[in-house]
């Protein structure tokens, strides 16, 4: 049976993060994940995680200054100190709540200098994270939703992972982003599986509930099972109405 994680960056946005954790448990999710939890006191979030028995699988490094257009920092030359501070913040919060993964956001950049900067910051992140048995994730994003983002394809992610050679650096494989940028999600899963640390789903192309659209997730989930992926699949989608109103897919996909 496939396990599912509720991405609380999108689901139950009307609730506080601790209450969203509780709502995910009531709905039947097996785990939770989030984007930027830093404004939430650690003890409040830990209380909800302890009450529900759910694990917070991961969180993201800070985007920087979104009002100024930032969408991550780690590939931006000249902002190394900010990127390192964001990495330290994310790892410290992950340690405090027992999260096993930290997604290091690359940001808007291009070219070889950006690549070198990203690799340097990933080396810093993986070194700090390894002490706490935390996996660092990098995620290719599609250019429609994340214009000018540095990391856009699974092949680019694998090349970075292989060059750095850190055993705690993996890819966050979001089927929605991969479908929009590359197509052939099942083929890319097969090719990338040794490097995948987490998988996410959402409808293509509207990023809604995963039970409609151009990508049929039933064979995708069977592919993951065949490939030996046993961790929870992250539901990172934007509900069409309320979160509860769109949860019919959860039992159907089990």
| Residues acting as catalytic residues | 139, 236
> How many Cα atoms occupy the beta-carbon half-sphere of 102 within 13 Å?
32
Q: CB neighbours (10 Å) of residue 245?
A: 10
State the residue for tokens 């997730």. Answer: 217
Q: Which residues contact 234 (CB under 8 A, 6 or more apart)?
A: 4, 5, 7, 33, 57, 174, 198, 199, 200, 201
CB 200 within 8 A of CB 174: yes
CB 76 within 8 A of CB 108: yes
């Amino acid at each position: 049976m496939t396990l599912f994680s509720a991405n609380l960056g999108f689901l139950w946005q009307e609730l506080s993060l601790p209450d969203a954790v509780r709502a995910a448990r009531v709905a039947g999710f097996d785990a939770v994940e989030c984007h930027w939890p830093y404004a939430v006191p650690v003890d409040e979030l830990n209380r909800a995680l302890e009450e529900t028995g759910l694990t917070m699988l991961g969180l993201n490094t800070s985007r920087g200054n979104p009002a100024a257009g930032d969408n991550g920092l780690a590939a931006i030359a000249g902002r190394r100190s900010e990127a390192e501070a964001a990495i330290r913040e994310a790892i410290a919060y992950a340690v405090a709540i027992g999260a096993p993964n930290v997604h290091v956001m690359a940001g808007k950049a291009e070219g070889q200098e950006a690549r070198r900067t990203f690799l340097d910051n990933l080396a810093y992140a993986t070194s700090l994270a390894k002490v706490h048995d935390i996996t660092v994730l990098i995620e290719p994003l599609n250019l429609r939703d994340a214009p000018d983002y540095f990391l856009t394809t699974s092949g680019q992610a694998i090349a970075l992972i292989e060059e750095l050679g850190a055993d705690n650096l993996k890819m966050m494989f979001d089927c929605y982003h991969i479908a929009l940028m590359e197509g052939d999600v099942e083929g890319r899963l097969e090719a990338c599986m040794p490097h995948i640390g987490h998988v996410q789903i959402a409808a293509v192309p509207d990023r809604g509930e995963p039970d409609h659209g151009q990508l049929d997730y039933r064979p995708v989930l069977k592919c993951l099972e065949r490939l030996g992926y046993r961790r929870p699949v992250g539901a990172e989608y934007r509900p069409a109405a309320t979160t509860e109103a769109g949860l019919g897919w959860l039992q159907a996909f089990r």
